Amino acid sequence: MDYLYLDHAATSPMRESIWSAMRNAEEVGYGNPSGSHKISRKAKNIVEESREVIAASVGAAPEEIVFTSSGTESDNWSIKSPFQSSFPTSQDLVVSSIEHEAVIESAKWVENRGYKVSFVNPNIAGKVESSEFIQSIRETTTVASLMWANNETGVLQPVSDIGKAVKGNKKLIFHSDIVQGFVSTKIDFHKHGITSAAMSAHKIGGPKGIGFMFLHNKYKIESYLHGGKQELERRAGTVNVVGVAGFAAAVKEHQDRFDEEVGLIKNEKNTFEELISENIKISVIGLEEERLPHISNIQIRGVNSENLLVLLDLDGVGVSRGSACSSGAQKPSHVLEAMKIDKKDLNSHLRISFGWTTKVGDGARAADKIINTIKGLK
């Protein structure tokens, strides 16, 4: 039987339509989009048409979208840029303590430069309280960052509530990492008061190595790549035309099939959680809060998740412990630690994440595999 891939929160396979879009971009627009001849103009057109497609999907203006190499680069750029000075001023930064590593490590970089950084903890279900986050924002706060939804637990965060509350603060950049959120929820930056955001293509079946940073057109931040005037004079370096074309194609297919795909994914996740809960003793993390339809994080007390991952892999099932960006570090999840999960249970978690390749029956099949594997350990 085919390998059961349920690690879409780490990355998703490329959609078939993306291959043809990328091949066409390379064949037709192989020129440098910064040039002035015919082939360069074709490349430029591909980039700008793609920018329009992507901007429309998040309620942004095309000039507010800057292409980057990844969501990680976009997070780094948005968080670090206002704090480049070697002589710390009264500026400060507010982030949640459950952010993606790209934001957490960027915040630590800011803190190490002498700036004040406030880390806001979530409740025990993994949700940051909007009132506590808002209270942490001071007159001197330059950037506040809260992800749309957590990449390990799937718990949705009160981004819209906070965005509306800080909308009148003209000095504040309100940043949100939407990389997981975009997969299975509709997001409109201006509607939700988001003024900066990070996104990556490969989570929705697009190519790896391409992302975007959204920046509201009323703001300007310093570039940290120098050497050219590409990307609206914000990011130096020859634009990845093929990647951009693949990104736009992925967004278009994702939007066109959104209701169908998310409906199926939600049903499969619910089936998985129901079946596994009926057969073995587990806890579903964040069950008390609204969660993304595609992510399930379960705690299986007394079972080492690293050992379980190996056994499941041998049995044809691919899942994870948590974030792919930190799993190789062999350390407990900072998200679960922030949620005050008991230390003895930190290594007893699995993240099961569904995606566009998920089929009817995959939820039941995954539950059956995990149940049988765990029973075999006893």
- Locate 137 and state its tokens: 């924002």
Assess whether pLDDT exceeds 90 at residue 133: yes
CB atoms within 10 A of CB 376: 9
Contact present, 158 and 273 (Cβ < 8 Å): no
What pLDDT is attached to residue 87?
66
Task: Pick the catalytic residue from 134, 232, 325, 371.
Answer: 325
What pLDDT is attached to residue 328?
52
Q: Beta strand pairing status for 211-215 and 317-318?
A: unpaired
Q: What are phi and psi of 50, to 5 degrees?
A: -65, -40
Whole-number average pLDDT of the chain: 93
Run of H or E including 363 = helix 362-377
Residues 21 and 8 in one domain: no
Tell me 237's DSSP state: S
pLDDT (tens digit, 9 = 90+) per residue, 179-204?
A: 999 999 999 999 999 999 999 999 99
Sole residue written with tokens 């009132």 = 131
Contact present, 322 and 351 (Cβ < 8 Å): yes
Residues 123 and 211 in one domain: yes
Helix axes of 38-57 and 241-256: crossing angle, nearest 10 degrees: 30
Residues 351 and 210 in one domain: no
- Locate 58 and state its tokens: 């998040």
210-234: burial string, b at 16+ Cβ within 10 Å, e else: bbbbbbbeeeebebeeeeeebbeeb
What pLDDT is attached to residue 377?
81
Distance CA 212, CA 56 (A): 13
Contact present, 317 and 305 (Cβ < 8 Å): no
pLDDT (tens digit, 9 = 90+) per residue, 2-30?
A: 999 999 999 999 999 999 999 999 999 88
In DSSP notation, 64-83 reads GEEEES-HHHHHHHHHHGGG
Contact present, 31 and 42 (Cβ < 8 Å): yes
Domain stop point among 204, 220, 255: 255
Domain stop point among 198, 228, 255: 255
Contact present, 122 and 340 (Cβ < 8 Å): no
What pLDDT is attached to residue 227?
74
Residues 233 and 312 in one domain: no
Across-strand partners of 296?
A: 352
Q: Which CATH number covers residue 153?
A: 3.40.640.10
The least confident of 66-80, 139-153, 222-236, 302-316 is 222-236
Residues 275 and 192 in one domain: no
CA 248 to chain CA centroid, nearest Å: 17
Banded pLDDT at 141 (limits 50, 70, 90): very high
Distance CA 61, CA 43 (A): 20
Residues 177 and 276 in one domain: no
Q: How far apart are the first and last CA of the chain?
A: 26
Residues 241 and 269 in one domain: no
- Locate 124 and state its tokens: 């025990």
Sole residue written with tokens 């509201």 = 216
Residues 270 and 370 in one domain: yes
Domain with 299, as residue range(s), is 4-12+258-377
What pLDDT is attached to residue 316?
97
Contact present, 59 and 191 (Cβ < 8 Å): yes
pLDDT (tens digit, 9 = 90+) per residue, 96-112?
A: 999 999 999 999 999 99
Q: Beta strand pairing status for 295-299 and 317-318?
A: unpaired
Residues 223 and 372 in one domain: no
Run of H or E including 24 = helix 16-28
Tell me 171's DSSP state: T
86-101: burial string, b at 16+ Cβ within 10 Å, e else: eeeeebbbbbbbbbbb
Q: Which CATH number covers residue 295?
A: 3.90.1150.10
Count of structural domains, the chain = 2
CB atoms within 10 A of CB 191: 13
Residues 247 and 168 in one domain: yes
Assess whether pLDDT exceeds 70 at residue 216: yes
Residues 228 and 322 in one domain: no
Q: Is 325 a catalytic residue?
A: yes
What pLDDT is attached to residue 181?
97
Residues 185 and 298 in one domain: no
Domain stop point among 255, 272, 295: 255
Distance CA 233, CA 178 (A): 24
- Locate 348 and state its tokens: 């007893």
